[in-house]
Amino acid sequence: MNILEEIASENTLAMTDRVILLQLMICSVSSFGYYKQAVRELL
């Protein structure tokens, strides 16, 4: 039982890390697109 709980917690941590990475990537991509649009309007 203990081993299963440890594996489950490790999988949960890995999933959380992936979700955080995905959100960071989406944020950087969207902010980059917004930056490009702002530069285009300025030029």
Could you tell me the two tokens for 31? 């902010």
The predicted-structure confidence for 6-35, as pLDDT tens digits, reads as follows 888 888 888 889 999 999 999 899 888 888
pLDDT at 21: 92
1 pLDDT band, cuts 50/70/90, is low
3 pLDDT band, cuts 50/70/90, is confident
pLDDT at 10: 86
Token match 């917004």: residue? 34
Count, residues in the chain: 43
Helices (H), ranges, 1-43: 2-42
pLDDT at 23: 93
